[in-house]
Amino acid sequence: MSIIEIIRKKQQKEELTKSEIEYFVTNYTKGEIADYQAAALIMAIYLNGMTNEEITNLTIAMANSGETLDLSSLGTVIDKHSTGGVGDKVTLILMPVVAALGIPVAKMSGRGLGFTGGTVDKLESIKGYKTNLSIEEMIQNVKKVGISLISQTANLAPADKKLYALRDVTSCTDSIPLIASSIMSKKIAAGANKIVLDVTYGSGAFMKTKEDAEKLAETMKQIGELANRETICIITDMDQPLGYSIGNSLEVIEAIEALKGNMKKDVKHVVLTLGAEMLKLAGKGEDISKNEEMILQVIKNGKALEKFKQLVQNQGGDVSYIENTEMFGKAKYIVPVYSPISKNKINKLNAEIIGRASCMLGAGREKKDDKIDMAAGIVLNRKKGDELKKGDILAYIHTNRKDKIEEAEKQIILAYTN
């Protein structure tokens, strides 16, 4: 078997066999297939797609490319994953909430991908917070405080780790086979019995239409069933950024505010919808509206915030950042962007443009090893449905890169007016 032949087959829209897929995954993980060859293959998959059987085989091969965890000592573990978005800080709010309600949270999160952010990058904006814990440390933390959020360990679905980083820098992110196999391989390897997936659609998601999001959801649900993991998919709107802040520490600050009881309406909707399903899956209650009440209650009585503090402290983070969000480093330049037009109602706010502008300001990566500027990003001042007068402030740019401000201003205006 040869990688050149495998690339050629996919380039010619032929179906790959199970053993060809396994050959690629095993040898790429070992470093015996070069990045440029893997890049050619994922581009061919991106362009020509995969059958359901190929996607399942790819997922299983990726899940088996490293260790697979047994979390049975923690009871029923429910994992949550989003297919990605702009301003999506739901994990940071939701996981302490469900942990405060007694559901063990042992979650591995990802870094930013394409124009979307990643929870691990966000958590690292809290001084001292360690994301690269071992599995044993993660399990110990869950036993101690009920929650641990870490980065994907080197040996958990290592094929995905390599492919994820490669897709990020080769414009191969928005592909159903690649997203489904990436997410489900990690979830299967990470040992959760039950999985809740937030499948996003709209300008800020990889799936631009609801139909594509439904297709992605169906694909992941089928893989979950085959792997014996109860999988629920919730389709959510990501046509504008979620909440008001985009960028790593800016989003953590918004999440802390949410846990303190000041949660923005659209963020609250997603937190309640996903959270209520997680509680149901965990056997905490069948009635969705009662489950939503329970969630609001642990936010109101401060237990969810307390859980977040325990999480941060337990992973070496400085809790004073949570108590006083002024501790987060600020960007050197904080620049308002003014609206050049008036509108009765803002009817669009392109989240992908905002996500890309935020990356350009320093919040994302262009190359695999780029260092992120934790303070960079965008804080919106107007969202869809708001009235807009010429001269109103649309958003604030946060950056340390003076040379990027003018272009970011143009992009932000375009996101509202295009």
Q: Which of 56, 65, 148, 182 binds ligand URA (CB under 6 A)?
A: 182
Q: CB-based contacts of 322: which residues, under 8 Å, 6+ apart?
A: 126, 256, 305, 308, 309, 312
| Active site annotation includes 186 | yes
Please give the backbone phi and psi of residue 27, each rounded to the nearest 5 degrees, phi first.
Answer: -75, -30
If the CB atoms of residues 218 and 318 are measured against ligand URA, the closer one turns out to be 218
Please give the backbone phi and psi of residue 200, each rounded to the nearest 5 degrees, phi first.
Answer: -95, 150
| Active site annotation includes 266 | no
Residues 254-283 contacting ligand URA, CB under 6 A: none
Ranges of beta strands (E only) in 258-321 are none
Ranges of beta strands (E only) in 300-401 are 333-338, 377-380, 393-399
- What is the secondary structure of 135-190 as a DSSP string? HHHHHHHHHHHSEEEEEPPTTBSHHHHHHHHHHHTTT--S-HHHHHHHHHHHHHHT
328 touches 249 (CB < 8 A): yes
If the CB atoms of residues 96 and 118 are measured against ligand URA, the closer one turns out to be 118
If the CB atoms of residues 69 and 397 are measured against ligand URA, the closer one turns out to be 69
| Active site annotation includes 167 | yes
| Active site annotation includes 181 | no
Asked if residue 219 binds ligand URA (CB under 6 A), the reply is no
If the CB atoms of residues 168 and 266 are measured against ligand URA, the closer one turns out to be 168
Q: How far is the CB of 110 from ligand URA (least distance, A)?
A: 5
Q: Which of 24, 54, 61, 84 binds ligand URA (CB under 6 A)?
A: 84
Catalytic residue among 148, 181, 182, 249: 182
CA 325 to chain centroid, in Å, comes to 22
Residues 113-132 contacting ligand URA, CB under 6 A: 113
Q: How far is the CB of 113 from ligand URA (least distance, A)?
A: 6
Q: Which of 69, 135, 179, 276 binds ligand URA (CB under 6 A)?
A: 179
Catalytic residue among 167, 221, 307, 356: 167
Cα separation, 171 vs 41, whole angstroms: 13
Q: How far is the CB of 261 from ligand URA (least distance, A)?
A: 29
Ranges of beta strands (E only) in 202-285 are 230-237, 245-246
Q: Which of 83, 131, 219, 249 binds ligand URA (CB under 6 A)?
A: 83
Asked if residue 112 binds ligand URA (CB under 6 A), the reply is no
188 touches 65 (CB < 8 A): no
Instruction: List residues binding ligand URA (CB under 6 A).
Output: 83-84, 110, 113, 164, 178-179, 182-183
What are the catalytic residues? 81, 160, 167, 182, 186
